[in-house]
Structures are given as structure tokens and as C-alpha cells.
Amino acid sequence: MAANLALSVKLNDPSRPVTLLYKNGDELPDGVAAHFDHCAPFENPDDYPGVTIKLGIYEPTPYAEAMYVDADCLIMKRDMDRHWAKYGVQDFNLSGVTCTSGAYYGCDVKAMMAAAGVDYFVAGNCGALFFRKNSGGEKMFRDARAYLAERHPDLIETRPRRGDGLSDQPYFSAAMARNGLQPVSYTAEEGTVMATTYLAKDIDFDLAAGRGLLKKPTGFRVMNRLWAKGWVAHDTSIAHFIDLKPLRVYQRLSDWLRDRFGMPRYVFE
């Protein structure tokens, strides 16, 4: 998946160098490293259970300014410069909204605010993170790690397939509020930076045409995932294939990318 992401960057953001971050001790598959400008292991991967390993990306990242993107993503369009500009107004950023009440993936927002000692909470998308290697960026990661170390029960987000139940998002979100940072937001008309395929419909992704169309629910009436209230169309720059679904769409795009760049096809399942 990471190799496919790198190929999509070469296609749609070709001037940008790409680094593969991986767990120290893992063996990279044959031919994968050649598609990256750098390959860097996490320094202390055992300090970060599950997906909280994102809290460890600061040190191994070799760039003064970076955008982390989850490996199960593809860059669909040649417009990433506008997202770098939008994210770059502060030393750490992600897309999302601020909130002071309600629920966040089963967690009570007010309880999360109290646990973190902040006046608001950021409900954000950590599939794409912008940060700078400077004092501001370093402090964000340091504060997020401090929240992780506390293991406060009200900051432990639980979702299916999250391993031990720890997620990176509450810790980054709390650290943003602690540092007075606001997330970026997008309108459907301007085109969002990233949209997930989770619970989406009418997915129309075409790398050759630079198209990332899909419809996402505006909300749900039952259990935050059933009986959509409505639908909004997006033309996303980054497609995030949660659980690699729909697999047939991802496989088609993978085959197209690998054929174009002379990389052997890989069957995902």
C-alpha cells in the first residue's frame, strides 16, 4: 500500500520527495524501497501501541516541513500545493472542526476536554498531518505523547480493529487545543484534502483523469453509522481506503499505477 501511495505522489505531486516510515526491524518487501527517496525506521516503535505510532513520526522525518499520509491512501489529483499552503498557516495542522459538546467516536467530548484540561476539542482527520521540524512542531508531538503516557480513560478512543483500543487522534486533538491551534476546514465546493471510503457511495475514482468523486453522509440517525440523514458530494485530493474498501476499486487503481511505473502488480485481499 505504501508503494502505491508513493507512486501516486510521483504521478500527481512529482516534485515532492517521499519517505517511507517503518518499524525498526521490519524487512521491506523486495523492490519497495526503490520507489521512495528515503526509508527511515521509527526510533522507538514499542513506545507507541497500535496506531499511536503516528506520535513517533517527528524524529525520523527528514524534512523541515512534512505531510504525513496513511499508507492506505492514494493521491488522486494534481492540486496538493493548495493543501500545503492551507495547512502551513501553523506548525502543526490537520483538517477537522472544533467542538465543546457531543460525542467523538463513542467518547464524551466534555469528559475529554476535562481530562485534557482544554477549552475545546478538535474532531479531526489524522490520516493526513502537516508539521514542521521546529519548536512549535516539536512541542505538539511532546504534548501529544504526554497525554498518551497518562492513559487517561476518557482519552482512550475505542473503535473496531484498533488493537488495544488506543488511537492517535484524541492525543493529537488534545495537544492542538492545548497549544491553541485550530484545524483547517474545507467546503464541498473547493474540494477536500482527504475523504475516506468508509460508508461512502457513488465512488468514482480515476487516476488517469485526476478524479476523486464520492458521496459521504452528512450524519446518521442511528448509532452514528446507520440511516444517513443526507449525502454530500466530494471531489477529494486524497482517497483514503479504510480497510481497503471497496477492494475492487483499490485493486484497479493499484494495477493502473504499477503498470504505468513498471512495478509488478500485487493482489490485495
| pLDDT average per 10 residues of sequence, the chain (269 residues) | 97 97 88 94 87 94 98 97 97 97 88 97 95 98 96 80 73 97 92 93 97 88 70 94 96 98 95
Give tens-digit pLDDT for 43-70.
Answer: 888 889 888 999 999 999 999 999 999 9
CA-only gyration radius of the chain, Å:
18
Strand 103-104 versus strand 107-108 pairing type: antiparallel
Looking up cell 497525554 gives 147
Residue 226 lies in a domain: yes
- Which strand (E) or helix (H) includes residue 145? helix 135-150
Structural domain including 114 reads 2-260
Can you list the alpha helix ranges (DSSP code H) found in the chain? 2-12, 80-87, 109-116, 135-150, 169-178, 247-260
- Which strand (E) or helix (H) includes residue 132? strand 121-132
Residue 156 lies in a domain: yes
- N residues, the chain: 269
At residue 72, the pLDDT reads 97
Please state, in angstroms and as integers, the Cα–Cα distance from residue 40 to each residue in 20, 22, 24, 62, 131, following that order: 6, 6, 8, 8, 17
Rounded to a whole number of angstroms, the distance between the first and last alpha carbons of the chain is: 12
**Is cis: bond before 246, omega within 30 of 0?**
yes
Residue 83 lies in a domain: yes
At residue 224, the pLDDT reads 60
In the three-class reduction of DSSP (H, G, I as helix; E, B as strand; rest coil), residue 152 is classed as coil
Set of cell numbers at residue 20:
517511507
Set of cell numbers at residue 79:
492540486
Residue 267 lies in a domain: no
Backbone angles phi, psi at 119, to 5 degrees: -95, -10
Residues β-bridged to residue 226: 222
Residue 7 lies in a domain: yes
Residue 249 lies in a domain: yes
Domain count, the chain: 1
Buried b (16+ CB within 10 A) or exposed e, 140-154: bbebbbebbeeebeb
Residue 268 lies in a domain: no
Looking up cell 487517561 gives 152
At residue 220, the pLDDT reads 67
At residue 189, the pLDDT reads 82
User: Residue 181 is part of a domain; what is its CATH number?
Assistant: 3.90.550
- Which strand (E) or helix (H) includes residue 108? strand 107-108
Residue 69 lies in a domain: yes
